[in-house]
Structure 1
């Protein structure tokens, strides 16, 4: 059973319940964020980078630590091109299945892999997207205590089940709106179509007047609109 029709409903339910997570950017501005999970992948990510370069689009990548360790030069290439980097765990294990120590170590190992590959301070990588979008309230509190920021989503076209390029494109265009965070995948699942999907989506969204921004810019928008005491 495909869950793509359910995700917009989940978004509407979960967003108000967990307001500390970043679910979207400013809805009064016609900006959207392209995000990619599960990479970097040695075949799929370079093709995706070529598409982003062609349109000069800044995206945000949420990496698995094990994939960074396998492809350090590619990880560094993504970083050097100015794309945003976040954590997706060391392997694709749902956070609720991990103990507190296992979760902390998974994120630390991923930060260390990024630090080694990109020659940066891994602790500067603070954005986390839970695999499968799953978490428990206790884990949100822990992530906040450890200094991480949880990034979720607005548009989830379920590309990882490979329903076809046109299907993912149609689902995305039907759900997108101002401030949307779009989730696609450049890893083992879904990655074979990601460059073609992205190449089809970007010009259509640009024609609709959208501007592509990083997840970090959405955090900055949120800080500016935060009510003052």
Structure 2
């Protein structure tokens, strides 16, 4: 069953209720963020990178630690090209089902994987790679309290075209076009589910949104438009 029609409704309800998350940027500026979950993937991510290079666009990737460990060269290439990197957990387990220690381990192990793959200092990665998107967008108020306590920043979404179900490139593109506006935070997937279409889908989305006068930025740029205090 597809839930794509329900995501815009959920967004309108959840955004004001959980306003310490990044759901979208400012509607006053023509910026949108392309974000990609579940990678890196040995086949789909390089195809996606070629598209982003073609249009000179910087995107944001929310990685699974296990995938980083399996494809460190791909992870390093994404980072080398200047894309923004965030955390999606180590193995896509749903955050509310994890005990606090298990959740923190999942995030820290993903940071370790990123540091190793990208040949970065682990302390720097722990300070800089702190954006977290919960798998399947599932969280609880307690989940957010833990993330805040550990100085992570929860990143959600405003446009979810359900590309992981592969309804067809044209369907995904039309869903994005119907929902997109200034500040939109768009979720696509370059992992095992949905990654087969991600390069073509992304190319079409970029072409159409550029025609609308929108500019592509990373989630970090969207964070700069809202206030999110650090944990003490």
Runs of 4+ residues over 6 Å off in structure 1: none
User: Under a length normalisation based on structure 1, what TM-score does the superposition of the two structures give?
Assistant: 0.97
Aligned to 1:47: 47
Q: Distance in 2 between matches of 1:116 and 1:122?
A: 10
Report the secondary structure of 1:38's partner residue: strand
Report the secondary structure of 1:152's partner residue: coil
1:60 Cα deviation after fit: 0.1
Aligned to 1:122: 125
Deviations 1:50-81 (A, max 9, x none): 00000000100000000000000110000010
Deviations 1:146-178 (A, max 9, x none): 000000000000000000000001101111010
Q: Distance in 1 between matches of 2:148 and 2:78?
A: 27
Runs of 5+ consecutive residues of structure 1 not aligned to the other structure: none
2:30 maps to 1:30: yes
2:176 maps to 1:167: no
2:194 maps to 1:194: no
Superposed, 1:100-119 pairs within 5 Å as 100-119=100-119
Deviations 1:88-145 (A, max 9, x none): 0000111011001100000000000001011223202000000000011011001001
Report the secondary structure of 2:106's partner residue: helix
Aligned to 2:59: 59
Deviations 1:172-195 (A, max 9, x none): 111101000000000000000000
Aligned to 1:156: 160
1:223 Cα deviation after fit: 3.9
Aligned to 2:21: 21
Q: Distance in 2 between matches of 1:108 and 1:158?
A: 28
Q: Distance in 2 between matches of 1:171 and 1:139?
A: 29
Q: How many residues align?
A: 225
Q: Distance in 1 between matches of 2:186 and 2:133?
A: 13
Superposed, 1:64-143 pairs within 5 Å as 64-120=64-120, 121-123=124-126, 124-143=128-147
User: Under a length normalisation based on structure 2, what TM-score does the superposition of the two structures give?
Assistant: 0.95
Aligned to 1:204: 208
Q: Distance in 1 between matches of 2:157 and 2:142?
A: 20
What is the aligned counterpart of 1:216 among 213, 217, 220?
220
Q: Distance in 2 between matches of 1:122 and 1:32?
A: 25
Runs of 5+ consecutive residues of structure 2 not aligned to the other structure: none
